[in-house]
Structure 1
């Protein structure tokens, strides 16, 4: 197990910089420069780690992603620890750890994101509860509550995870835990961790509530709605992982030794159904995967297998390992292989196969627009980006240029505040379609640069324009409320629900 974790850690660290910045990573860097106890759509943990990386190794992708690598390695270790709790021998522990280590989860988990931390912390909670089932040590439940409170400062999915576990225990047992004061103490710890977040949300018109509809529409637009959910969900598990999940479900229902742990499988089902109904992201329930991989490994090892079953495992493991190695070494694919994007589905595949690239071209175009300003205009100017990805890129990569402060009305960036009212000239960067709105807000609007590479990415180097906007018709402090939006326009969404704009 230790060897698998070590090899995985080295491999993931060495290859962590192969993709350029993802848009959310740029946003986390910007958030880290404005540290707060919470934000519009996530807690403080990820921005804090982004800030630490930004201070210690500015511009380093490996440093930025190293905390995510540690979280990924941690999930591998937790899978093995759960197998140990289930009385699995070393080979079973290696199978559980190896299943997670070679799943597609490790590829998605390496980019700095809330998912990187949330998945591992959820896995730790399941391990603590499984250990409680074996030992009945109530302090484990309290520790689980503390871990949940930490996870609450990452992403606000953990109350749903906690509720799904509770419903699963009610349905499948062990119901004895419901009578333990430690459970209610742990739940109180989690509840207390919500209080500062709820206060912030109430003061800012509850943006997180509006994000549910936004995320659901994004999932549908990218082809990963209810119909496409399960294929992607299983794709994250990988070939071997899918087998282990199936074996885990079989084991908790058929094997006497695993029946006390039925609640894990039930919680996964409950949460998966909830996420499908609410049109959530397919990776939301994957914090249960390490436990399911461990349950599957124990089941597989104890199952009276036929010889053909053992032989069938050889090509399955081979395909899993080759796919894993290929993913780490061959992706992103060569830029010459890029294809044009026509809709959000294409854009999703493009991001996975090539990443998000050419941020430098976007920032250079903004600098070109800024150079058109006179010295007097520059003294009262600001940069405004339509999208929070663009704003993050300008802040991160604009150091080589003498640009003014950057603002954006997009999602969490909008809550960082508007430009000062003294900014009578702004350089605005966004999609080509933004011009009519700009003309309604400014006395003078002039397009000064354009990026439209047919093979580019909308919002980065395709369908993008830079405008010089002068004489705002309202003060920024007034205009900002009507500009801020949780909707993130990538230029290729095709969904009627986007006709409404959640505002600040």
Structure 2
């Protein structure tokens, strides 16, 4: 059966749109500050390993690479994240091309990707989702090429991308799994009978093997983390799944991806499995209680498919289309980028809490330093600074030296493995607790609150308790395993 060819690629205009995204993200990259996760990634990058309790190694490695090459600053850290987002915009346009979109359709696909809230949000900061998005877009591109051409060699490209992406985040198995299920349901099943499929699986396994072995040797801690997150947030994730799918990409793009789904299902039978993969993926994420953004990248594939029918609507309603695109860009920027004054971030936190996670870390460390100074100077040599999560520990690692603070210890995620207080630390313990925790405080003697963090915005650290205890109740060697936190 003859498969459709593709139009020429609109390289110059698509690249121009991607460059504009890169310039915008670069211009705003240093406006607030480090995100909680970025502070963690930078420390993890100094403890390079084939795995961590809560993630594979690629994002911490790229964080270290970016700061080494481009400077140990907020802007330097985010350069590779920005580049990843720029490439993702181009790949979305290439997917539209595979679906038969001409120059105008490819440009529209690039514009829609560039102004989507999800791409701007993950592109602004360094996160595992940042590089995961690019991986998913590449997987989408190679999968569509496979289905359009029936050339089994594209399984190798899929396998290579998936294998590298597993070293960043295990979620990459979801779109491939959803696609395989969809191929079994609606076909074309012939691509599953190719010898290139096991070759692609072998390539993926080869690249994924180092982290899989690390997880095996450490009793699969990432499964423990994932299970804990699902148990804690699973019901809320299920309730908010559909609303957040709409809001996080952009409500104004809903007609585009709906048109894309219908087009693939009705007009491009060879690509029906791509359309079906999205609801299959949504069902899997809902059952697992995963976060809404786990399925968002596939919506950009549907957006790419929907640009051709959307163009016909635009030709008939040009003023309304321009207004819609402008509103999409403005609302996406408002809720995902640091365009507001830091004091006004509370306005967007209800819809995007990640904005608040980038504000107030230097002030947080200053508050901790004020509490530390309440410990008599003669007792500080045997005192311990013990914080409740990796963001707090990372912030003190970053800003604490200028305040005379010692190393901050934490049992959260991989911080547990990196450092532990010596048993000679028998003196006072300053606990930094997001909420006072009797279960934790019972391991220390005579605890009393001596202060609290007053954050500029209503983020997780606002109101964090600063609790001073006389001493640990037992040696740190004995105490440490009792305090481990997987989530």
CA contact (8 A) 1:132 1:141 kept: yes
Take 1:350 and 1:241, find their aligned partners in 2: how far apart are those partners?
18
2:186 aligned with 1:172, yes or no?
yes
Q: Which runs of 5+ in 1 are unaligned?
A: 340-345, 488-504
In the other structure, the counterpart of 1:291 is 301
CA contact (8 A) 1:72 1:120 kept: yes
Taking structure 2 as the reference length, what is the TM-score of the superposition? 0.88
The answer to which of 151-160 and 367-376 deviates more is 367-376
Q: 1:68 aligns with which of 60, 63, 81?
A: 81
Q: 1:43 aligns with which of 38, 41, 56?
A: 56
Runs of 4+ with >6 A deviation: none
Take 2:351 and 2:335, find their aligned partners in 1: how far apart are those partners?
14
In the other structure, the counterpart of 2:413 is 411
The answer to which of 89-98 and 369-378 deviates more is 369-378
In the other structure, the counterpart of 1:246 is 258
In the other structure, the counterpart of 1:495 is none
Distance 1:205 1:376, change over 3 A: farther
Query: What SS class does the counterpart of residue 428 from structure 1 fall into?
Result: strand
Take 1:58 and 1:424, find their aligned partners in 2: how far apart are those partners?
39
CA contact (8 A) 1:363 1:398 kept: yes
Corresponding residue pairs, total: 472
Take 1:291 and 1:82, find their aligned partners in 2: how far apart are those partners?
7
Q: 1:323 aligns with which of 297, 311, 331?
A: 331
2:237 aligned with 1:225, yes or no?
yes
2:454 aligned with 1:453, yes or no?
yes
In the other structure, the counterpart of 1:199 is 213
In the other structure, the counterpart of 1:273 is 283
1:395-436 CA-partner distances (Å, limit 9, x unpaired): 1111313332222112232233422223223432223513x3
1:149 to partner: Cα distance? 0.7
1:306 to partner: Cα distance? 9.5
Within 5 Å, give how 1:53-452 maps onto structure 2. Answer: 53-56=66-69, 59-110=72-123, 111-217=125-231, 219=233, 224-255=236-267, 258-301=268-311, 309=317, 312-324=320-332, 326-327=334-335, 331-335=339-343, 338=346, 348-349=350-351, 351-352=353-354, 354-373=356-375, 377-425=379-427, 426-434=429-437, 436-437=438-439, 439-445=441-447, 447=449, 449-452=450-453
Q: Which runs of 5+ in 2 are unaligned?
A: 1-13
CA contact (8 A) 1:428 1:469 kept: no
CA contact (8 A) 1:125 1:148 kept: yes
Distance 1:83 1:219, change over 3 A: same
In the other structure, the counterpart of 2:15 is 2
Take 2:136 and 2:399, find their aligned partners in 1: how far apart are those partners?
34
In the other structure, the counterpart of 1:26 is 39
Query: What SS class does the counterpart of residue 17 from structure 1 fall into?
Result: coil
1:361 to partner: Cα distance? 2.5
Take 1:15 and 1:177, find their aligned partners in 2: how far apart are those partners?
44
CA contact (8 A) 2:234 2:288 kept: no
CA contact (8 A) 2:356 2:459 kept: no
Take 2:306 and 2:217, find their aligned partners in 1: how far apart are those partners?
46
In the other structure, the counterpart of 1:500 is none
Query: What SS class does the counterpart of residue 433 from structure 1 fall into?
Result: coil
The Cα RMSD (Å) is 2.8
1:334 to partner: Cα distance? 5.0
1:115-166 CA-partner distances (Å, limit 9, x unpaired): 0000111110110121223334433221211111110011111222221111
